[in-house]
Amino acid sequence: MSAPRLVAAVAVVLLLAGCGPTAPQATPTPTPTPTISTPSPTPEAPAPAALVLSLDALTLQDQNGAALESAPLADPDAAITLVSSLTGMTPDPEDNGKFGMSYEWPEIRLTVNFSVTSVRVMSATVAGLPVSTSQGIHVGSSRSDVVALDPFVQQYDGDADGLPDIYGLEPVSVPEHESLSNPGNPGTDYIAVFMSGDTVASLGAPGGDYRDI
């Protein structure tokens, strides 16, 4: 092949190569936008709405009646701590000799004896919270309110008005003890309801017809 033809052939090859299809460019992968999570607000703890006295505990309840905190009367430290946290103070204990150590607030008194706490409630409220039995009896309730619950009747009439001065709510038979008011019969534990006239003057637990409270 002559030189001019060779040059022409090379030129044609180069021209055809330049006219070939262009390789497609890679499409960039989109970067995902980061999702910003908003933390859920922490729900507020339910506020105590009532203090309930049972035969064996003091219990804080919310407005729906659910228990928030309970202090067994068999755990004196727990009972003292609960009332102290409600009132914002712990009174100095008073030594009552064989009757134990008492801690007294204006509305409530706790007496610790042989590692058991006795409670006396003298007001319808403690630290602004209503305090009652689980059946709704509180200081200021009427005698008819108490009698309607068919309580245990303690045979004691100190004011000689012909009516019991003490009733017992949530009664539980205690066969290992003999009743002092009904000799020969088993003793009974209860929440003591102390009357003044026809009005509840105070509540006490644990009460029993075989012991003093």
What tens digit of pLDDT does each residue of 170-194 get?
A: 999 999 999 988 889 999 999 999 9
- Judged against a pLDDT cut of 70, whether residue 13 lies above it is answered with no
Q: Would the pTM count as exceeding 0.85?
A: no
pLDDT confidence of residue 200: 99
Residues 122 and 200 in one domain: no
Residues 143 and 206 in one domain: yes
Q: Which of 76, 108, 134 is the last residue of a domain?
A: 134
Residues 107 and 165 in one domain: no
Instruction: Determine whether 93 is exposed, middle or buried from the number of CB atoms within 10 Å of its CB (0-12, 13-18, 19+).
Output: middle
Residues 71 and 128 in one domain: yes
DSSP assigned state of 142: B
In a domain, 32, yes or no: no
Residues 185 and 156 in one domain: yes
The range of the structural domain enclosing residue 97 comes to: 46-134
Residues 51 and 121 in one domain: yes
